[in-house]
Amino acid sequence: LILSVSLNGSIPSLATQQECILGAVDLAFVIDGSQSVGVTNFQTTLDAIVHATQLTNIGPLEKDSRVALVVFDETAHIEFGLMNTTNADVEAAIRRSKYPNTNGVNIAAGMDAATRKIFNHAYPPNRNAPKLLIIITSNSDQSDVRAENSLAREVGAIPAAIGIHNG
């Protein structure tokens, strides 16, 4: 799944969106922190993730969702794994995320961190919730995303990419 979004520094208000509450899901957001994103779009991306996580109940129970965040530039940085137990914990962790603002882009490194270090080490490992790997980037690169896509699918994750650009 690939989606392209033009960011202008704002996202739709939850008040204007139809109510949509997701069932239990393990979500790993893998977001581009390279220089081409820009600080405003990076912050807008974080805001969008906060809004998305408000559409589900986050918690430790089987019926709850779990969220993780990876920021990548030349390397991947795990901001937090699937262990936050409330929506407020997840929002606070997202808000603490820092923009790396470097030149390099390595999408595969971000995907690999989410697959190997988040989904592979998730507890409980046999949880029945779907695993979604949401990649948000402003660039393409030369990394081997096909291999990482296959690896993600091997652990039961469904990768989806969202392209962002200034516009």
Among 43, 116, 122, 107, CA closest to 76? 107
pLDDT of residue 2: 38
Nearest one of 65, 102, 115 to 87, comparing CA atoms: 65
Map out the domains of the chain with their CATH numbers.
2-7+22-166 (3.40.50.410)
Q: How buried is residue 29: exposed, middle or buried, by Cβ count under 10 Å (0-12/13-18/19+)?
A: buried
How high does pLDDT run on average in the chain? 86
Q: What is the residue type of 64?
A: D
85: which 2 tokens?
A: 């137990």
Mean pLDDT over 122-149 rounds to 87
Q: Residue 114 pLDDT more than 90?
A: yes
pLDDT grade for 18, boundaries at 50, 70 and 90:
very low
For 79, counting Cβ atoms within 10 Å of its Cβ (0-12 exposed, 13-18 middle, 19+ buried), the class is: middle
Q: 67 or 84, which is more confident?
A: 67
Give residue 125's pLDDT: 67
Reported pTM: 0.85
Of 89 and 7, the structure prediction assigns the larger pLDDT to 89
Answer positive or negative: Cα dihedral of 74, 140, 34, 78: negative
